Structure 1
Amino acid sequence: MAIYAFVTVDVFTTQRFGGNPLAVFPDARGLSDAQMQALANEFNLSETTFVLPPDDPANTARVRIFNRTHEMPFAGHPNVGTAFVLAKQHQDRGGVLRFEEIAGLVEIKVARDAAGAVTGATIAAPQPLVLGPCLPADAIAACAGLEMADVIVAAHQPVQASVGNTFVLAEVSAAALARALPDIGQFRRVRAAWPALNGRLSLYLYAHDGRRIRARMFAPLAGTHEDPATGSAATPLAALLLSLTSKADVACDIIQGVEMGRPSLLHATAWRSDDGLRASVGGSCVPVLRGEACVGSPAG
């Protein structure tokens, strides 16, 4: 039986037991794909990360991200939290880490306080904005237990968007956001009815709240009834909002997780680059747990 150390952190928060919890295995050498998936399922968090040596020594690490059911090409809070853990172990180079992931190379800038202590990180999404199919407002409303009139389409239709991980983004009223409740039967129906979704339907609802944005994310088909903070959805949202303007860049603060009792604050930015619209997301982290996982057949 092999023993693997892990730590957990709460991401996109300055308060323990807020934000989005993450389990990190800082040295996952020797774990099989099946063991990584089993550990992620055992933790039962939105995601668990496994750190491996990089293929290119110029990079910091190869990072694999698993949710409860499958490996993910990219995700937001796992990168921020893993960067926080590795930077506290002094694995950054001049405040920068570079993670090799399925979706591409993720560059992370470490945040520190005045005393030099690591407080969080900001990640640049690995891909420019890619828009997929638009979906009918009534179908999206049904997935969230809402009425068609609750979905706001003045700026854009509900649309699949990605900067490395795909979500359906939909604007709703503030009142509707508060009462949204995922209907797994409707999620299955919509996923089956739109093959262009490629079997993935994670729904990111947002509402404008003055200068800030309030958001909620539902992915029941991937085992996440609701997510308290979703950096890989905040980034395509920022890029989408930029696409609706003529500005060179936009920045927005996104509040998520309030309805779950795990308030989170994400700082998202988007800018125009030569290859399209790029985005980043950052926030604070706090350490929570340390432990060891036993992997392999039990003795005796």
Structure 2
Amino acid sequence: MEHFLADDGEKIHLKISGTGRPVVLLHGWTSTHRDWSPFLEALEPAHQVFRWDARGHGGHALRTGHPPHVARMARDLHNLLDHWQLQDVALVGHSMGALTLWQYLQDYGDGRVSRVAFIDQSPRLLTDDGWAMGIYGDFDAARNRDFIRALEADFAETVLRLAAQGHNARARSRYQENAAGIVRARAFLRQLDPAPLIECWRSLTEADYRAVLGKIRVPALLVYGGASNFYSTGTALHVRDSIPNALLHIYPDVDHAPHLVERERFTRDLLDFLRRLGNE
């Protein structure tokens, strides 16, 4: 893998491939750059593709000790764009990656950005009396404190239960049956250092990007799962209606990773969205 140094000295690892207009792909919490591998063949002929392992992710131990708080990851993204002097870049974020992208837009604006895409995420994860579009529709601060304590006790199992205990019945069934995919995911999660990932989760659940949505001036693609583990269709509609120039696709009967479940459809939707760059 290649790497660059963030402005605090942390080494950020990434893969770069393809030629053409730059696209930066931001993965979700506990995941890695490998999430984007299925889309490289389609993207690389027309795009230079940047896929990082976010700070504290991908099995790369932190050198500085600075945890992967969402504001720090957004600054890492800013450093990445500076390091490769990228302009007119398309930014695509899934889950935590979408939150990182919203934080980036809040802190640095969209002057260097041509397009943005957000995959199955709410601008505020925690719910309260006035906001029911976060996790599960009823994941409030007290429930989050209990969740963090559970992460500290058994990180891998608690992460698996987060997806299994949501809206998606198939995910719940696979967890109860201890399906092969659950076994593989558990083994992967048990290899991770939980401390920085728990700190990352704290920062994600403290964030609120509802005010950012209306300030996004560049075209936005939204892809949501119609059977997301975490979010209702109402969340997707709220995000669409809050961003001035947003195109929403809801993939029916698909979970929190619609791009990975419906790979061919997502590839078509993303390429169509990106091709418009050359027509404006």
Compute the TM-score of the two structures, normalised by the length of structure 1: 0.32
Higher Rg:
1
Structure number with greater CO (CA < 8 Å, separation at least 6) is: 1
